[in-house]
Amino acid sequence: MTTAALPRRGADTVPAPTTPAAVPGTPETVPAAPAAVPTTPPIAPGARLVGSLTRAQQITAGVIVVAALVLSGIGLYLSFEHVATFAHDRLRFQSLDKARLFTVGVDVGILVLIALDLLLAWLRRPVAWIRYPVWLLTGATVVLNAASAAPPEGAWQRMDYIAGFAHGVVPLLFIVVVEVGKTGVDRIVRPLSDEAAARVPLHRWFLAPGPTFALWRRMRLWDVPTYAEAVQRDQDLRVYRVMLERRYGRNWQRKAPADLRLPLTMAPYGLTIDEALALPREAEEREAALREAQDEAQAAAFARAEDRAAQARIHALRTTGAVAAAEHEVNAATQQAAIAAQAGLAATERAAQVEVQAVESAAAAEADARRAAADKRAAADREDAAEAEQRAAGMERAAAEERERVAGILAREAAATRRAAEDKQAAQQAEKGAAEAELDAAETRLRAAGIERRAVEAEDEARRSPRERAVRKVARLALARTGGDIEALPLEDIADALGVSTSTASERRREAADLLASGYQPEGTA
């Protein structure tokens, strides 16, 4: 990795993490850091996979394996009786068979663990702790074999020590051969394991214990995969610090811009130089994305408001049309009822006239023949005519009452329809007012968010402390919600806005009251 060149003093831009070139405006570049140590060294010239061994090498490997098996058999044969007898006589096993079973169990356990260790190493899935029980059991076998040669009583002589060594040398030789074979298999199959690549060399702990512990701590905390990569990061960071001192002098920690000091600030958290220098650009991108999202939200809110206004106008037009149609329908029904009543009255009058004419004609025809009876019948006819007129008058009154009842029903229906239309129109107006109020509230919140954002940007430029930012935020909340009355602003709202306890919120409210009393106005609103 090439360390990015330092920009001129006051520069605000930093290079992208993938761009190793110098920042524009800087005539000099930082020398490239030493090349990274390969994370996986190449396989040694003589190391080959088993599939690529020559026939002579395969025969040699087979002979070695057979010899190791023979050696293990010799060790088992020599130690079996000695250890079994010693276990029965001295270790208090109840019978010789149980002592032999104990000896077989120990030897078979050693062989099984060795086979598992070699197999897992061959499959490139080694388990490091398996060798420890192997060493423990082998040591126990060596001790038991040596103890079986101990004199039954009296002091040890020189030959007793030699005999004890002779009894334990074959198991010890066997475990040495197995360890050599396991190491060889491990080196052939896995030239350099991940665990070895991530291990800090022992000599570094002795030569520089303090920096080595810091390096090892960063590797474990931030999951740096290899020791070589951790060394490369440390070298790059040291070169970067030297270049900052060279560019800004001994007081570079105060003179260098904050963006250029980010790699040193973020190094304890596992970030490389390029990743730390990319943080401001990523923050600007997030802020731009946030502004874009706010603009989109504002445009969407405006579009929704326009849509609601259009729907309200459509509903108003539909309501007006329904009212006009209802009025026309009521007027038509009223006119039809009047025409029907007039037609019924005319028909009644015509029937009465026809009946009177018929009576008069009959009376005139019979007047010549029965003059005396005609007078009597004429009187009777006049009475009948009077009764008919009364019946006709009753029918006319009933028809008039029916017309009045129908007209009343139609009038009530028309009034109900008009009232429903008026209620619907009032509901539409109320909905329109609510939509306008919601739009005004959204615009107010948007303006408040803009004021808050400009105030935060102004505070960032002024480099306000977190306490000053919190106090000014409380003051802005009071101006926005209570018109500057800080005591009317609830402590719970302040605690939620700042993410602090109620006691801290009370303290911030007192400081905000002092700030408002001094004539504070939010930055960016002037």
- Helices (H) and strands (E) in the chain — how many of each? 16, 0
Distance between CA atoms of residues 522 and 456, nearest Å: 9
Residues 50 and 121: beta-carbon distance below 8 Å = no
pLDDT at 51: 53
Q: Which of 8-22, 68-82, 93-107 holds the top average pLDDT?
A: 93-107
> Exposure of 4 by Cβ count < 10 A (0-12 exposed, 13-18 middle, 19+ buried)?
buried
pLDDT of 36 strictly over 50: no
The string of pLDDT tens digits covering residues 463-516 is 788 888 888 888 888 888 777 788 888 888 888 888 888 888 888 888 888 888
Per-residue model confidence (pLDDT) at position 30: 40
pLDDT tens sequence across 208-229: 899 889 888 888 888 888 888 8
Backbone angles phi, psi at 465, to 5 degrees: -75, 160
pLDDT at residue 422 above 50?
Answer: yes
Q: What pLDDT was estimated at residue 100?
A: 81
Buried b vs exposed e over 25-41: b needs ≥16 C-beta within 10 Å? Answer: ebeebbeebeeeeeeee
Q: Residues for the chain: how many in total?
A: 526
What CA–CA distance (Å, rounded) separates 107 from 176? 15
Question: What pLDDT shows up at residue 13?
Answer: 36
- Ranking 76-85, 200-209, 306-315 by mean pLDDT, the lowest is 76-85
Taking 80 as the threshold, does the pLDDT of residue 298 lie above it?
A: yes
Q: What digits encode the pLDDT tens for the residues 312-339?
A: 888 888 888 788 777 777 777 777 777 7
Q: DSSP for 183-219, please give it.
A: HHHHHHH-SS-HHHHTSPPHHHHHH-HHHHHHHHHHH
Collapsing DSSP to helix, strand or coil, 3 comes out as coil
